[in-house]
Structures are given as C-alpha cells and as structure tokens.
Structure 1
Amino acid sequence: MLDLDNLEKAQRISLTMQVEISLKGALITGALKPGARLITKEIADKLGTSITPVREALLRLVSAGALQATPAQAFLVPEVTLERYNEINAIRKQLEPMAVAAACKLMSEARLKVLRELSDLFHQAMLNGNVQQALNANRVFRFTLYQYAEMPTLSALIEQLWVRIGPCMNYLHEEKQDIAGAPYHYAELLAALERGDAEASRKAIDSLIDEANVLLKRQYLG
C-alpha cells in the first residue's frame, strides 16, 4: 500500500533541497548582499513554491552558519567581517589544495575536457566583464574539479566555507572593472592536471586563492 504521508514528506524534502541549492548558489556568488533581509514569502513567490520548503531551507542554512535568524522570524545575510573572512580563507587554503591533489590523481581525458570547457566559459565571462556569469562559471568549474577528488565530505566542507564567505563577493558586482582587468586564469592549473602533477596542482590552486584574496580584501580597506 502506498504511504501518502511518506511520499508527501519525501517530495517536500526534495523541494527543500532544491530551494537550499538555489539559495546556496545566490550566497556563493554574492547575489545576496551582506545585511540583506530574506522574506520567506517573497522567495517562495519568486521560486514558484510554497512557504514550507523555503522556510525549511532557510533554517538549514541558519544551522550551517550561512544565515542569521532574527526574532521577527526574518532571515539575514550576515556581514562578513575581516576576521571571519581571514579565518575562512585560511581554512580554504588547507582544504582546496587537498581536494585538487586528490582530483589530479584521478584525472582522465574526459574529465579534463569538461574542465577545459568550463574554464573557457569562465574566462569568456571575465573578458566580457559579466560579473554574475563569471562568478557562476567559476563556481561550477571549482566544484566540478573538487567533486573529481571523489571525497564527498571534503567537497561538502569546502562548499560550507564558500557559502559563508560568499556574501563578500557582492563587492565584485559593484567593482566591474576589477573583474574585467583581473589576471585570473586556470591555464597553469589545467596544465598541471594534464601532466598529472599533484604538487603543481596544489600550488596552482593556492596561488589562485591568493589572487582572489587580493581582489576581495580591497573592500575592507576603505
């Protein structure tokens, strides 16, 4: 006999996960500005879903430290202080090279082809000065690469860090000239992956994190 209650619950969980993924994407790419107030009904209307899965997704992000709940039952995108930024960045510099080195050892020509195509999309968006497109393409490239490490716990930890640091990416939406002129590219990383050189791959991703760090820390100097 079909258990309708369990089916409804499973569908709601699936919908909650879809909403959570959508919100994570907005946080990671800085589409949600620090201090922004998230209204459950507005998000539900925008995504074309009911309030329940949206509220559940927001609460999950609060539990993950990505959002803040307020007494008025609203949700806030947290400010990313310089101290918080530095802490998260330091952890990223440990975890992301680990993921890249593991992915390098499991690299194949098919995987390299995917990464090259994603890299091209990212660089084209950078050249065009399309900030949102560039940030989205960068996210897809990086997490595709990290998934190739076949270490799901590590990938999940890295994603958590990106979600927490993401709101400071909003700065790049306002500083479009910085994006267009940034010397940020994946050629060295892809070459190291192609050679199967795990150590060079680690160094390449570490350098890329440092390059992005220089760009992002400008917002704290004003």
Structure 2
Amino acid sequence: MSLDSPVSRRLLSDEVFQRLRDSIVRGELDPGEKVKDGELAERLGLSRTPVREALARLADIGLVEAKPGVYTRITTLNRRDVEKTLAVLRSLDQLAVETAVPLMTEQNLGQMRAANRDFERAVAANDTSAALEADDRFHAVPITVADNPVLSRIIEQLHPQIHRILYRKFSTLLGGRNTIEHHEQLITVCATGDSRAAADLSGQHWSELGGHINRLFDTNQLADTAG
C-alpha cells in the first residue's frame, strides 16, 4: 500500500507505523532523509499525534533517529550497526531452529516447502516483494514452532533493518539458486530431527549473508555513514 493512500480511522498509530516502516524498507524514504511529522500527517490526512507515535516506535526499532529540536530522519545504513544486527539475528534464528526442530511436524515441513516454492517462483519473476514475503514465511515456521514470544518479538523488531538492504540488493543477496538450495537443505536437516545441525546450517546462511553485505559496503554500493 502506498504511503499516500488514505488511512482508516481504526488503529491509526499501528497503521501509520506499518505504512512508514514499509516505506523505509522499500526505499521510498531514503537513509538519511529528514522527515517532519506535520508533513507526513498532511500526506496521510491525519493529525500529528498518530504520526508522532509511529515515529517514536520506529525510533525504538532503529529505523528512525532524532536529535530533539534539530531533525528527525531515516536512520542511515551503517556497516557497524548492520553487523551488530546480523549477529543478533543469527543467534536468535539459531535458537529458534534448535528449539523448533524436535517439535516440528510434517505439516510444518510442508509449510516450509510451500514457502520455498513460492520463493523460487518470485525469484524467477524478479518480484522482490513476493520473494521477501515468501522468505519471511519460510523462516517464520521454526520461529512459530519454537513458541517463544520474547524471541519472536525481538526478531520482528530487527528484521526491517535488514529487509531494507535486502530490498535494495535482492538479486545480489538472495536472488540466486543458493538461497533456494539453502532452504531445501534446511528442510532436509530439519526432517532428520538433528536440531544442532539445523541450527548450524542456519547460522552459516546468516554468516554468508553478512559477508555479501560487507562486500556491498566495500564496493560503496551501500551507504556507510555514521550520521
């Protein structure tokens, strides 16, 4: 949904938060871009209150940064911050996988297979949004099965920080056969019930992703400013 589409009166703060978050992920609001609650409120046809609430929540998850009385802006893409976020996500995802594997059913494995088929179709169609949505559904299966609300909440908060890089550089980071094959390998290992091996495989994938992102910073394909 476009940032400029009218917002319903129901759950305004949540809807504004989701709209702004998605606009940041898709790059409609650029890293370092200054934003004003009054201008955003006017674009959305709202009062400033839900917009301010949404911006505060975005600041809490690291997508917006503010210097009171000076600026509110979209957080820059900073190598050091990205590395820290990836390290936390890698550990949390490994914990989710290791916890989930002994509890997985054939239905859960089927959900992962279906998500990977959707991912493969989206990659073939060069549909970044659909591919990331399918990738999220794939990884959401072990997170859901692990049934740890704290873990789920933290992963949900951190994902958008990486998604905005994936959205910009999808073909470089996730668009090849290697991600599809990684998904297939993870399903196979999960099906054996070897939780440690599955967690190790998941960690390896996150480490590879981190290496790819570092190369993008090295070749100046991503901003690297401390702000």
TM > 0.5 fold call: yes
Query: What SS does structure 2 have at the residue aligned with 1:184?
Result: helix
- Give the letter for the 1:138 counterpart: D
**What is aligned with 1:3?**
none
Mapped pair 1:95 → 2:84: no
**What is aligned with 1:184?**
179
Asked if the contact 1:126–1:180 (Cα under 8 Å) also holds between the matched residues in 2, the reply is: yes
Deviation at 1:65, TM superposition (A): 2.7
How many Å separate the matches in 1 of 2:69 and 2:128? 33
Q: Tell me the alpha carbon deviations over residues 19-73 of structure 1, each in whole angstroms, 9 at most, x when there is no partner.
A: 3344444545666532234454665577676543232111112133331125468
Provide the alpha-carbon RMSD of the alignment: 3.0
How many Å separate the matches in 2 of 1:200 and 1:30? 36
Unaligned 5+ runs, structure 2? 1-7, 220-227
- Give the letter for the 2:143 counterpart: Y
Asked if the contact 1:101–1:201 (Cα under 8 Å) also holds between the matched residues in 2, the reply is: yes
Q: 1:84 to 1:203 in 2, by over 3 A?
A: same
**What is aligned with 2:13?**
16
TM-score, scaled to structure 1: 0.77
**What is aligned with 2:165?**
168
**What is aligned with 1:210?**
207
- Give the letter for the 1:172 counterpart: K
What pairs with 1:6-45 in structure 2 (closer than 5 Å)? 14-27=11-24, 32-40=29-37
How many Å separate the matches in 1 of 2:87 and 2:71? 31
Q: 1:62 to 1:125 in 2, by over 3 A?
A: same
How many Å separate the matches in 2 of 1:49 and 1:60? 17
Query: What SS does structure 2 have at the residue aligned with 1:35?
Result: coil
Corresponding residue pairs, total: 210
- Give the letter for the 1:132 counterpart: S
Query: What SS does structure 1 have at the residue aligned with 2:14?
Result: helix
How many Å separate the matches in 2 of 1:182 and 1:45? 44
Q: 1:147 to 1:44 in 2, by over 3 A?
A: farther
Asked if the contact 1:31–1:167 (Cα under 8 Å) also holds between the matched residues in 2, the reply is: no
Asked if the contact 2:166–2:173 (Cα under 8 Å) also holds between the matched residues in 1, the reply is: no
**What is aligned with 1:8?**
none
Identity of aligned residues (%): 27
How many Å separate the matches in 1 of 2:138 and 2:16? 21
TM-score, scaled to structure 2: 0.76
Asked if the contact 1:37–1:74 (Cα under 8 Å) also holds between the matched residues in 2, the reply is: yes
